[in-house]
Every structure is written in C-alpha cells, then in structure tokens.
Structure 1
Amino acid sequence: MTETTLALLGSFSPRMQAAIGLAGLLLLSYVAQAVAQYLLLHMVPRIRERMDVRWARVVWHDQVLRRLARVVPSLVMQAGIGAVPHLDPVAFAVIRNLAVALTVLQLVRTLNALLDAVLLEQAPGGAPTGTRSIKSYVQLGKLALTLVGAIVIVAVLIDRSPLILLSGLGAMSAVLMLVFKDTILSFTAGVQLSSNDMLRVGDWIEMPQVGADGDVVDIALHTVKVQNWDKTITTIPTWRLMSESYRNWRGMSESGGRRIKRTLRLDTTTVRFLSDEDIDRLSRITLLAPYLAHKREAVQATNAALGEDAAAPANLRRLTNLGTFRAYVQAYLRAHPGIHQGMTLMVRALEPTAEGVPLELYCFTATTAWVQYEAIQGDIFDHLIAVLPEFDLRMYQSPTGGDIRAGLQRAAMQ
C-alpha cells in the first residue's frame, strides 16, 4: 500500500479498518477463484485433449476442475486473515475455522466429483454396459468421504481434535449399526455379486417375487434397477439379490442359442399303421425319403426272419403315422436354418394323457434375440400343424360350442 492509502486507513477506527480489511480479503478471494476457474477450465482441457489418455479424462474432468477452483477462496482467506489489521482474536479464530471448514467441504466435493468421473468413464454418458458395475463402490466411497469430511468440519468448527469425535462415535457403534444396517447389508451383497460375477448391467433377470422381469439398467449401493419388458422400472434392494433366488439369462445370451421346448398334443384316435400306399405317397417328401427307404428295408428283413409267424398281422412289424411324423419333424429341424445344429436337438413322444399324445420338440434357435426367436418358433409350429393332415394325424382339441351345435344339428337331421 502507498503512504497515502496507509494514512487514509489510519484515519479510520480500528473496527472500520478490520471491516475494510475483511472486505478486501473477501474480494481478493473471489477474484482468485475467478482466475483459477478460468485457468483450470480453459487451459487444462486443451492439455487433456492433446494427451487423450483415460486417467486425464477422469482427473481433469470439467466438474472436478470446477469444484477444485472453489477451494481457492477459502485458502486465500486462511492465508490472508492474519494480515487484517485490528481483528478481534475471537473473530480471527471463527473466520479461520470457517475457512478451514469450507476448504474441507470443497475438497470432499472435489473428491466426490472425481469418483463420479470414474463412474462416467466406465460407462460414457451413463449408458449401461455389459461389464461389472462399480457404482456401488463409488457410492460407498462417497459416503465414507462425506462422513470423514463431516467429522473433520465439526471438529474444526468446535476447535477440537477429530479423534475426540471418533471416540464418541465408537461408543455409539450400536446406534450406527442400526442406522446403517441397510447400507452394510447392501454393500456386502454388492461385493459378493461383483466378486462372484453373479450380476452385471445389461443382464436379463427374472425375480417373480418382486415383479422383476427384464434388463438390469443400474447397480447401485442400495438398489438394483430392472427395466421390465413393458418398460416399467422395478427397484430391488441389493441385499435381496443375495437372500432370495432369481434367474439370470446371461448364460443363454452368451451361448448363442435359446431353447425351444414345446409340445404338440395329437389325437390318439388318429394314430394308425401305414399301408404300402401311404409309404409310397410319403416317400415323395424329400425329407422323409431316406428314412422310409431305410425303415422299409429293416421292416422287410424283420418280417422275413419271422417266417410263418409273420402271417399273423399282430406279429408283423409295421410303420406308424406317428413315428413317421416324428422322423419328419426331426429331419425338418435338422434342415431348418434357424435352428442351432451344435446344441441338443430331440423330438420325443411323452406319456399319453387324457389330452392325447404329447410330441415334444426340444431344440435351440441359432439366435437369442427375442423377436427372431419367437418368429422362428412360430414358423416351425405353423408348418407342423399345417402338415399333420399329410400323415392323417389331428391335433387334440377340446370340443367347442361350435362342435356341440354341429353335433346336435346332425342328430336332429337324422
């Protein structure tokens, strides 16, 4: 300061000098913040873009730099508070403690922004990824930083050592355990889910007890969000995923094939032996020709070995329309381009019931996409139902009102 300025200040009262000094220091602190923010947000990003490395995008993220610039005013206040003339010792201590508390607060916010930047770098734009989520760890780190920062700030404001507060918290451990029970349970569950690779963002899971059936879109410390197929969101406490069972379809997605396990219920009264004319007619079907040629030779050889006993019709070995249809379905699936040929493929007749003979198809599609899967499955069963009359078979169907009316009309006409 010049002699004229000092002389001018000397003409004021001590309290006025202290007030002017504090105002000047406050103005200087915010000027310093503006300068620091300009330098950090205009020069550092250029260096970050030139480097183009992952750690630079995290450490020098815009939000981190903006929060870091806000640390400067409190630092200036701490450094310059001793130069304010005629400042009361009590006011000096209060302002200094407030400046230190603000410094701690802004540092905690800066570190929290750094953790957020780590999370954004894992999934740019917040979009879900197929990798393991670290959001629960980030949230736990932010919670720990906030608790430590709160303890330090309170200790600074009351001008006591943080160890005194920590010793008091130790005595309140039972209360803290009760307050943070869900946090502790959720963190433990999150660690187990992540370490055992039981759940990832993007997995399709089913948890009927909570109404969840869809893709995992977010894994946080306390909750897991599932976007159901109707676009609703189900929020599940993280600890429930360890204490209760759920189905994860990731294995199906990674295998490259999705299972078809469905039955055709055939009317038992339509099952019969094939005549020679039937065999000749069905042999014109390309998929059945090799099967029927092989079976015809095997049947003739067996009947020839029976000799005289073959004269009895019950002793003859003959082909049935049901067995031939089962062979056709097997050949049809083997030739279908939408069926995965490297996985289990089986057509089997199950135990007959009051609703007919169940013919089960067990195979896998060559895609796991839901729309394509349903299209392939629909095409297969459309074709098989339509081709049943070629084998003189009929689907089992309970009588409808139309069937009953038609029967009554025929009976009335007779």
Structure 2
Amino acid sequence: MFQIEKNYNIALWLDKWFIEDFGIDAVPALYLKLLTLIFVLFTISFLSWYFTKIVIVRSVHKIFLKTKVAWDDILIDKRVFEQISYLVPAFIVVLISPYIFGDFPILIGYVIILTNIFIIMVLIRVAITLLSVFDEVLSQTIILKDKPITSYVQVLKIIVYFIGGILVLSLILGKSPFYFLGAMGAMTAILLLIFKDTILGFVASIQMSVYDMVRVGDWISMPKYDADGDVMSINLNTVKVQNWDQTITSIPTYAFITDSFKNWRGMNDSGGRRIKRAIYLKVSSFQFCDEEMLSQFKKYKLIQDYITKTGNDVQKFNAEISDSEIVSVNTRRLTNIGVFRIYAEKYITAHPDINKDMIIMVRQLESTSKGLPLEIYCFSSEKEWLKYENIISDIFDHLFTITSEFELEVFEEPTGNDFRNMNK
C-alpha cells in the first residue's frame, strides 16, 4: 500500500512524469494520465484475483478434497470459492482508489460506488450458490430427501435477490435502504399480484410438507393436468411429474391444494397392489351339474375337497326330503357357475404371487346386458408395474381359457362375421 500524504499520490507523480519529463501538454497529459491510472487499477485487480484463484482457492480445494465429508465436495462443484475470489480485487479497488485517483475526486466516488455494487452482486451470487449447496445437502439426507426443501430454498433466494436489489438501488440513487422499504409498503397490492403464484406455491409447499401429501418419488395421478407418473421435483411454483410415456408434466404447486389427485404411495407402502377385474359370463350357459360333470370336477385338484364335502352336504339335505317333496325345485344342486367361482377363488389363493395376508375374493356383481360379471378381487405381492401386469395376464389367461371346462361361455359383442354367419 502507498503511504497517505496530503500532497503526494500516484496522480501527482504521473503529472511530473508526463509534463516535465516528456513535455506533453496539460490536456493530453490529463487523458493519458487517466488511462494510465485505469490500467494500473485494472492490473492490480487482475493480479490480486489471479493470485487468489490460483494459490489460495486451489489450496483450499486440495484440502477439502482430502476430507471424508461430502458437503465440502459440493462446495467445490458449485465453485463457491472461485466466486468468493472476486471479492479480493474488489476490496483492493475500494482501498487503493483514493491513492490512484487523487486528482480525480469525482471519479473516486463513481469507482467506489461501482465497486460496491459489484461486491453486492458477488455476495448475492455467493449466497444463492450456498443456498443451492444447502438444498442439495439436505435433499440427500434420509429424513428430508422426500420433502419439498427446494421450495423453501427458493423463497430464501427470492429474499436474497430482494435485499440485494434494495442495496444496489440505494447505492445508485444515494438513498437509504429503508427509503425503498417504505416505498415497497405502498406497492404491496402490486407486489401481491406479481408474486401471486409464488406466494400460493410457498403456502402450498408448507401444507404439502406438514400433511405429507406429496413426496419426491411418489406415483401420482392427476387427470386434470394429464399427469400419471412419478414426482421428479417439488419447487416453489411447479411440481414436475414424469409420466409413464416418459413425457414430463409441470403442475402448479398450489394445484395440489385446490384440485384433487391420487397418490399411490399407500399402495407402495402396503403389502400388495390391488387386482380388480371381472369376467363377463353368459347367463344362458349356466346350468345345474349332473353326475358326469361332478365326476369330472372331482378330478380337479383345487376343488376336489369342495366337491366332495359339498356333494355330501347336498346328498344329506336331499335325503331328508320326503318322497312327496322330491322335485327338482325342492332339492339342492351344484351349478357350474358356482363351482367355477370356487375354482377361481382356490386358484387365486394358490397363486404364488398373490398376497395371502390381504383380502382374496371372487364375487358376482349385478348382472348387465353383457352377462354376469364375476369379479376377481385380490392383491399381488409384486407392485412393480411390469411384474404386476404379467401376474394379471397369467391369472386371466388361465381363467378365460378354463371356463369351457365348466361348460361356461364368456360374453363377446357380436362381430361382422357373426352376422354374416347368421345369413348362411
């Protein structure tokens, strides 16, 4: 640093050098002196920045890379220390400007103001980067990895930008920061209108976090926005969902509070994924079982015990009926639809990919013009989509095919060929 002397600085020394030693006129010497001072200031700033970045920053990087913790590596990846290195030449400019521009007092003020603005902008950038590091570190923790941390970090970033903007304006206009805060109070309605989505998103993020409505990685369905897939990220204004067709849907964060959606997390956390599908059977194919049919059914391993036990119960009931009451209406008989329902239930229960601890049911629904729906209701132990669909296909491949063994027919809408065959 140069010593502070009232009548001596670099500018006076340059005056002596240009005018007395080189004999340059006063006006050209003034401009030449100014350019030289600017070059000197730039050179000092560049050398201080280069030294800071090459020597100090690299040394810090080497030290941090040797540690076992992960957060300091994120600081290096985000280039935090390289951004901080820009502060060193800025502080040096503020300190040496009065000595360099001694003959240009007005210029000193502008240089210091511009440098202070630069310092504020660098500090804003560093603060924003540190918040990003904070977000990434917290998002990797087990407790908070599925929480909308990014939304809160984005709010803090907005606050940093707001404070930085106030400070820059106060330097440019020469006003106190509180002056602008007072003016902002009068613009509250306009600010609320401008930041409406941001405010709604922030409130929604808090509610989503408190009530644990949506997490990153959840499978959600939101038909209004044509979204059906996994949540990729939860931000202040949007929630990104990667659909199963690999497209990405952006949904306003506040929509998760105002609109309905389905979260499949409960299914993932449970012991199985629900299978709920019906087979439509023709009512005209229903019939009572004769002895030949029962003999055939007894060969089916899954329902051998049922046919034997139920057959004995039926015979016992019919034996107690008097001779005068023995008509087909008064007797009990097994039906092919009833036996098939029991077979389907036994088959599903014996299936290795069906969760036996959850409900297993085969039931008849209300008949329709398409026949009688026989609904399969159970839960697969596999919840992954591909495996889940394969399990359903295996079950219904078998059930659809084996209906003919019970002399049942599956309903189908008539086709063109059916109508043509009717005319033959």
Q: TM-score, normalised by structure 2?
A: 0.89
Structure 1 equivalent of residue 418 of structure 2: 403
Structure 2 equivalent of residue 34 of structure 1: 50
In structure 2, the CA distance between the partners of 1:309 and 1:48, relative to structure 1 (3 Å rule), is: farther
* Residue deviations 1:371-410 (CA, integer Å, cap 9, x gap): 111111111111001101111111112222222222221x
- Secondary structure of the residue that 1:315 maps to in structure 2? coil
Is 1:86 aligned to residue 99 of structure 2?
A: no
Is 1:254 aligned to residue 269 of structure 2?
A: yes
Question: Which of these residues, 292, 295, 299, is aligned with residue 280 of structure 1?
Answer: 295
Question: Which of these residues, 122, 129, 133, is aligned with residue 148 of structure 2?
Answer: 133
Structure 2 equivalent of residue 71 of structure 1: 87
Instruction: Tell whether the 8 Å contact from 1:212 to 1:234 is kept in structure 2 after alignment.
Output: yes
In structure 2, the CA distance between the partners of 1:374 and 1:115, relative to structure 1 (3 Å rule), is: same
In structure 2, the CA distance between the partners of 1:297 and 1:171, relative to structure 1 (3 Å rule), is: same
In structure 2, the CA distance between the partners of 1:408 and 1:345, relative to structure 1 (3 Å rule), is: same
In structure 2, the CA distance between the partners of 1:7 and 1:259, relative to structure 1 (3 Å rule), is: closer
Question: Which of these residues, 371, 377, 380, is aligned with residue 386 of structure 2?
Answer: 371
Structure 2 equivalent of residue 352 of structure 1: 367
Question: Which of these residues, 195, 198, 216, is aligned with residue 180 of structure 1?
Answer: 195
Deviates more, 1:324-333 or 1:226-235: 226-235
Deviates more, 1:334-343 or 1:301-310: 301-310
Instruction: Tell whether the 8 Å contact from 2:337 to 2:408 is kept in structure 1 after alignment.
Output: yes
1:314 positional shift: 1.3
Residue type of the alignment partner of 2:343: Y
Instruction: Tell whether the 8 Å contact from 1:18 to 1:84 is kept in structure 2 after alignment.
Output: no
1:244 positional shift: 0.8
Instruction: Tell whether the 8 Å contact from 1:71 to 1:103 is kept in structure 2 after alignment.
Output: yes
Is 1:202 aligned to residue 217 of structure 2?
A: yes
List aligned pairs for 1:141-160, cutoff 5 A: 141-160=156-175
Structure 2 equivalent of residue 106 of structure 1: 122
Instruction: Tell whether the 8 Å contact from 2:360 to 2:378 is kept in structure 1 after alignment.
Output: yes
Q: TM-score, normalised by structure 1?
A: 0.91
- Secondary structure of the residue that 1:291 maps to in structure 2? helix
Structure 1 equivalent of residue 131 of structure 2: 115
Percent identical residues = 36
Structure 2 equivalent of residue 170 of structure 1: 185
Structure 2 equivalent of residue 10 of structure 1: 16
Structure 1 equivalent of residue 25 of structure 2: none
- In 2, the alpha carbon distance for the partners of 1:254 and 1:63 equals 40
- Secondary structure of the residue that 1:288 maps to in structure 2? helix
- In 2, the alpha carbon distance for the partners of 1:280 and 1:402 equals 37
Structure 1 equivalent of residue 401 of structure 2: 386
- Secondary structure of the residue that 1:225 maps to in structure 2? strand
* Residue deviations 1:271-313 (CA, integer Å, cap 9, x gap): 1111122111111111011111111122122222334355222
- In 2, the alpha carbon distance for the partners of 1:211 and 1:85 equals 64
- In 2, the alpha carbon distance for the partners of 1:177 and 1:169 equals 11
In structure 2, the CA distance between the partners of 1:114 and 1:73, relative to structure 1 (3 Å rule), is: same
Instruction: Tell whether the 8 Å contact from 1:257 to 1:365 is kept in structure 2 after alignment.
Output: yes
- In 1, the alpha carbon distance for the partners of 2:324 and 2:353 equals 47
In structure 2, the CA distance between the partners of 1:204 and 1:390, relative to structure 1 (3 Å rule), is: same
- In 1, the alpha carbon distance for the partners of 2:101 and 2:134 equals 45
In structure 2, the CA distance between the partners of 1:292 and 1:301, relative to structure 1 (3 Å rule), is: same
Structure 2 equivalent of residue 412 of structure 1: none
1:58 positional shift: 4.4
Deviates more, 1:302-311 or 1:400-409: 302-311
Residue type of the alignment partner of 2:223: P
List aligned pairs for 1:228-239, cutoff 5 A: 228-239=243-254
* Residue deviations 1:97-148 (CA, integer Å, cap 9, x gap): 1111110100100111112223333567xxxx96223221222211111111
In structure 2, the CA distance between the partners of 1:84 and 1:179, relative to structure 1 (3 Å rule), is: same
- Secondary structure of the residue that 1:364 maps to in structure 2? strand
Structure 2 equivalent of residue 56 of structure 1: 72
* Residue deviations 1:13-48 (CA, integer Å, cap 9, x gap): 694556534432221112111111123542222222
How many pairs were matched up?
Answer: 404
In structure 2, the CA distance between the partners of 1:151 and 1:85, relative to structure 1 (3 Å rule), is: closer
Structure 2 equivalent of residue 23 of structure 1: 39
Residue type of the alignment partner of 1:257: G
* Residue deviations 1:163-200 (CA, integer Å, cap 9, x gap): 11111111111111111111111111111112221112
Structure 1 equivalent of residue 208 of structure 2: 193
In structure 2, the CA distance between the partners of 1:370 and 1:81, relative to structure 1 (3 Å rule), is: same
- In 1, the alpha carbon distance for the partners of 2:13 and 2:193 equals 63
Instruction: Tell whether the 8 Å contact from 1:264 to 1:360 is kept in structure 2 after alignment.
Output: yes
- Secondary structure of the residue that 2:329 maps to in structure 1? helix
- Secondary structure of the residue that 1:51 maps to in structure 2? coil
Residue type of the alignment partner of 1:202: G
1:324 positional shift: 0.5
Q: Which runs of 5+ in 1 are unaligned?
A: 410-414
1:252 positional shift: 1.1
Instruction: Tell whether the 8 Å contact from 2:117 to 2:168 is kept in structure 1 after alignment.
Output: yes
List aligned pairs for 1:220-235, cutoff 5 A: 220-235=235-250
Instruction: Tell whether the 8 Å contact from 1:97 to 1:159 is kept in structure 2 after alignment.
Output: no
